[in-house]
């Protein structure tokens, strides 16, 4: 007669997932305490900010209200490979500032966490690190007030010191 032993500890996948969320939550608390929370001015009803009107998959032409400051953590997580255990998370901790109604600046570090075991083609790794730096510089070229359309130029330079899939040390620049 076979006896089965049940392990009371949670699966490794769930522990890795908890570690990623704990790291992102701690990083968010640190940056919120350093930079404060977002402040919004009293605006009238007819002003519509279109920067996030279409969700996160596309960006509108607005730059925000003059003097506005905000902290925006943005997390990207990847889980699962055909074999082994794979969990990778990258969080960009962006501080956003709008000095004028036509210019917006976002910048901040990126923090990554890698939990990789037994995946063919990848080295085993369980670590977190400061991974690089990202920025987003936006300026309005054509304002909506004199015309029915608006045009905004956005430049997004970035630097990463670890590969986003495998976690190996690299030097990646992007624009």
Give the model confidence (pLDDT) of 30-85 as tens digits. Answer: 665 655 555 555 544 455 566 666 655 666 667 777 888 888 888 888 888 888 88
pLDDT at residue 2, as a whole number:
46
Query: How much of the chain exceeds pLDDT 90, in percent?
Result: 22
Domain boundaries in the chain? 12-39+50-174
- Answer yes or no: pTM beyond 0.85: no
Determine the Cα–Cα distance for residues 7 and 10; give it in Å rounded to an integer.
8
């Amino acid at each position: 007669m076979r006896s089965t032993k049940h392990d009371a500890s949670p699966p490794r996948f769930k522990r890795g997932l908890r570690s990623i969320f704990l790291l992102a939550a701690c990083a968010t608390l640190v940056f919120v305490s350093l930079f404060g929370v977002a402040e919004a001015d009293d605006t009238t009803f007819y002003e519509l900010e279109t920067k996030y009107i279409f969700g996160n998959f596309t960006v509108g032409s607005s730059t925000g209200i003059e003097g506005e400051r905000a902290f925006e953590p943005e997390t990207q997580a990847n889980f699962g490979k055909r074999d082994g255990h794979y969990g990778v998370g990258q969080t960009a901790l962006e501080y956003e500032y709008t000095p004028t109604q036509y210019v917006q600046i976002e910048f901040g570090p990126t923090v990554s966490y890698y939990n990789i075991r037994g995946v063919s083609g990848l080295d085993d790794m369980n670590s977190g690190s400061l991974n690089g730096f990202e920025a987003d510089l936006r300026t309005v070229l054509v304002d909506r007030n004199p015309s029915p359309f608006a045009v905004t130029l956005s430049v997004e330079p970035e630097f990463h010191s670890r590969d986003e899939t495998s976690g190996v040390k690299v030097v990646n620049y992007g624009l």
